[in-house]
């Protein structure tokens, strides 16, 4: 069965960096685009970033552009999100989500999420 397991969340100070990981199993990882979606406490869903199945294209929400970098290692079935210059408003649960295909741009499986808290 499809499994997505995020890790790397925690409490960090404003301005610092954090790297999230999402380990995938139960499907052919290299055949699917992948996304990061976040949800601030008590708030709605916000798409963060996408990466094509082969890493050939990436795209970001304006709110994170220039600060966050999405990447993947298909040999390790792992998705990453490098988050730099973190701000209080980046506090959220970060979900990795599988694209239905290599670029359908909607999400058929979600991980359980990892909580990132930005606080001094």
Partner 1 sequence: DIQMTQSPSSLSASVGDRVTITCRASQGIRDYLAWYQQKPGKVPKLLIYASSTLQSGVPSRFSGSGSGTDFTLTISSLQPEDVATYYCQKYNSAPLTFGGGTKVEIK
∠ CA 28-2-103, nearest 5°, is 55
Binder among 17, 59, 85, 101 for partner 1 (CB under 8 A): 59
Q: How far is the CB of 19 from partner 1 (least distance, A)?
A: 22
Q: Which lies closer to partner 1 via its Cβ, residue 18 or residue 51?
A: 51
Tokens of 26: 């139960």
Q: Which lies closer to partner 1 via its Cβ, residue 73 or residue 108?
A: 108
3 binds partner 1 (CB under 8 A): no
Question: What distance in Å separates the CA atoms of residue 118 and residue 86, rounded to the nearest whole number?
Answer: 7
Q: How far is the CB of 45 from partner 1 (least distance, A)?
A: 4
36 binds partner 1 (CB under 8 A): no
Give contact residues for partner 1 (rule: CB under 8 A).
35, 37, 44-47, 50, 59-62, 95, 100, 104-108, 110-113
């Amino acid at each position: 069965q499809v499994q997505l397991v995020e890790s790397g969340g925690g409490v960090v100070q404003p301005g610092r960096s954090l790297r999230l990981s999402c380990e995938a199993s139960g499907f052919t990882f290299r055949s699917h685009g992948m996304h990061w979606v976040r949800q601030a406490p008590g708030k709605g869903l916000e798409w963060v970033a996408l990466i094509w199945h082969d890493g050939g294209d990436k795209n970001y929400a304006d709110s994170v552009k220039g600060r966050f970098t999405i990447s993947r290692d298909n040999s390790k079935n792992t998705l990453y999100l490098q988050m730099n210059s973190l701000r209080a408003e980046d506090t959220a649960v970060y979900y990795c989500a599988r694209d239905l295909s290599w670029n359908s741009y909607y999400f058929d499986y979600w991980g359980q999420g990892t909580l990132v808290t930005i606080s001094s």
